[in-house]
Amino acid sequence: MSDDEKFQAFYAQEAAVYEQTRYETRYGRLFRKLHHHILDNVLSDIGRDVRCLEVACGTGHTTQVLVKHFNKLTACDLTPEMMSKNKFGSDPEQVTCLQANAFSLPFPDNSFDVLVSTRFLHLFEWHDQQRLFQEFNRVLAPGGQLIVDFDNMIARWFYVIPHVLYNLIRYKRLAPFSIYNLPGKTCRSIEHAGFSHARAQGIAGWHLVLAARLSETFAFRAGLWHRKAPLKFLAEQYLITATKPAP
């Protein structure tokens, strides 16, 4: 079975519980709120009429944000079962949904002005991430904006013991499959793929669930402090923005 078939089979089954397990726990709700807030800020200066592509749209966690910012959106995913749960892509006048492989996107060169891919690249080893950066560069027009996120290696090792215990208790496994990245190295890799001005900011952090038990408002504010150093290095994920240079 190929990697594509493995991912497709896994997420076909996972689609029914994906939203519940990722975003309906106490920390999941906090992560969603922080992730959406940061995406809103990043997208706020981009016009509504640009051509936007979402890669690996899944059940709509990020589609929910994008439909507020763009008049037209193309959203794709490898797994139809995941897209079937994406109620934010149900308006064919605004959103075009299609099945596609991210390594070989079915679009001509320079087709989009914005490309967004979240909660996705952590599934791939370093060399495959670089292949994806090159494919994203191909379909973006000069001057286009890239917005992607990754799991944070620094936070992963800082919290290695509680992370292992949590997964043993909740999922009966040592850890979910995930590739962890270093922010600086990943920014340089994205620039090596032809982008410029790659910048990273932190998103949320597992330890914030303790603050959320006391006050979700305080936990959200504390989460925003993780966008920049030094707390950025304790964030669960980081969001990178970059630009495809104009000729």
> Using CA atoms, how far apart are residues 128 and 132, in angstroms rounded to an integer?
6
Q: For position 219, which CATH number holds?
A: 3.40.50.150
pLDDT band at 127; cut points 50, 70, 90: very high
pLDDT in tens, 58-68: 999 999 999 99
- Across the range 117-130, mean pLDDT stands at 95
Predicted TM-score (pTM) of this structure: 0.94
% of residues, the chain, pLDDT over 90: 79
Residue pair 46/145 in contact (Cβ under 8 Å)? The answer is yes
String of b and e for 87-107 (b: at least 16 CB within 10 Å)?
ebbeeeeebebeebebeebeb
* Residue 26 pLDDT greater than 80, yes or no: yes
Nearest to 145 by CA among 48, 228, 76, 53: 53
> Using CA atoms, how far apart are residues 30 and 165, in angstroms rounded to an integer?
21
| Cα angle, residue 102 at apex, residues 123 and 135 outer, rounded to 5° | 110
- Across the range 124-149, mean pLDDT stands at 97
Q: Considering its fold, how many domains does the chain have in total?
A: 1
- Across the range 52-81, mean pLDDT stands at 97
Domain coverage including residue 40: 3-243
pLDDT of residue 166: 59
Alpha helices in 159-243 (DSSP H): 160-170, 183-192, 208-214, 216-224
* Residue 95 pLDDT greater than 60, yes or no: yes
pLDDT in tens, 194-210: 999 999 999 999 899 88
> Using CA atoms, how far apart are residues 116 and 65, in angstroms rounded to an integer?
11
Tokens of 167: 């997964």
